[in-house]
Amino acid sequence: MSYRSGQKLKRRKRSSAKSLWDEGKEINVAVKTGEVLLGQRSVIRELSMGELKLIVVARNAPAKVVNQIKLLNNCLEAPIPVYTSKNSSWELGALCARPHWVSVLGIINPGDSSIMKATEYLSQSK
């Protein structure tokens, strides 16, 4: 698409309402300021220890991994909240400043992020 010189580009209007919180921003802040585990192996390993406060799963994570996490989580005395992200695994990797896919995040300490409050609010509103 070519534009003539001096011609202004029209901006596209947003069609959807802005959400109450930005999931990507909160994940990024948690990775930078808190303590976060990346990847399914480390999250599953840490799940049995009970240190995790939240598990974030990518929307396109393999069903086998999601089922394994939910099964192990149900065996715990105090289950850990599992949040399915609207981002794909590639987008989660980019939010974590990693050049690879991240299908599962385990948040031990959220740091300055308010992701714990936001996911509690979203789970209550469903």
**pTM for this prediction:** 0.77
Largest alpha-carbon pair distance within the chain? Answer: 66
The stretches of the chain forming alpha helices (DSSP H) are: 23-33, 40-47, 63-74, 89-95, 115-125
Question: Model confidence over 4-59: pLDDT tens digits?
Answer: 666 666 666 555 545 556 788 889 999 999 999 999 999 999 998 888 999 999 99
Spell out the domain ranges in the chain: 23-125
In contact, 104 and 67? CB cutoff 8 Å: no
Q: Which CATH superfamily is domain 23-125 in?
A: Ribosomal protein L30/S12 (3.30.1330.30)
* Residues contacting 67, CB < 8 A, separation 6+: none
